[in-house]
Amino acid sequence: MKITNVKTILTSPNQNYLFVKITTDSGIYGVGDASLNGREQAVADLIDEYLTPMLIGRDPGKIEDFWQLIYRGSYWRGGNIVMSALCGIDMALWDILGKECGKPLYALLGGKVRDKVLCYSHVLGKTQEEKIAQAADYVKARGLKVIRLRAGLPAANGTFGLKEDQNGPVTEPWNPEEEWERTLEYFVKVREAVGYDVGIIYDLHERFSPDRAIRLINALEPYRPFFIEDPIAPDCLDSLRYVREKTTSPIAFGELYKSRWECLPAITNHWIDYIRCDIIRIGGITEARKIAALAETYDVKTAWHGPNDVSPITHAVNWHLNVSSYNFGIQEDGTTDGLIREVIRGGISYRDGYLYLKDAPGIGCDIDEETAARYPFHKAYLPICRQDDGALHTW
Ligand code: CS2
Ligand code: MG
Q: DSSP for 234-281?
A: SS-HHHHHHHHHT--S-EEE-TT--SHHHHHHHHHTT--SEE---TTT
Tell me, in angstroms, the distance from the centre of ligand 1 to residue 184's CA: 20
Q: Which atom of ligand 1 is nearest to the CA of 205?
A: 6
- Stretch 295-316: mean pLDDT, rounded? 96
Question: How far is the CA of 316 from the CAs of 31, 78, 363, in angstroms?
Answer: 12, 24, 6
Q: What is the pLDDT of residue 102?
A: 98
The angle subtended at Cα 328 by Cα 327 and Cα 333, nearest 5°, is 165
Distance of CA 331 to the CA centre of its chain: 10
Strand duo 146-150 + 117-122: pairing: parallel
- Stretch 152-178: mean pLDDT, rounded? 87
Query: Sign of the CA dihedral 361, 367, 369, 371?
Result: positive
Q: What is the pTM of this model?
A: 0.97
E strands, the chain, where?
3-11, 17-24, 29-33, 117-122, 146-150, 171-173, 199-203, 227-229, 251-253, 274-275, 301-302, 331-332, 344-346, 349-351, 354-356, 365-367, 384-386, 392-393
Q: What is the pLDDT of residue 159?
A: 83
Task: State the CB neighbour count (10 A cutoff) for residue 6.
Answer: 20
Q: Which atom of ligand 1 is nearest to the CA of 278?
A: 11
Q: What is the pLDDT of residue 34?
A: 98
- Which residue's CA is the closest to the ligand 1 atom numbered 3? 307
How would residue 291 be classed by pLDDT, with cut points 50, 70 and 90? Answer: very high
Is the pLDDT at 334 greater than 90? The verdict is no
How would residue 220 be classed by pLDDT, with cut points 50, 70 and 90? Answer: very high
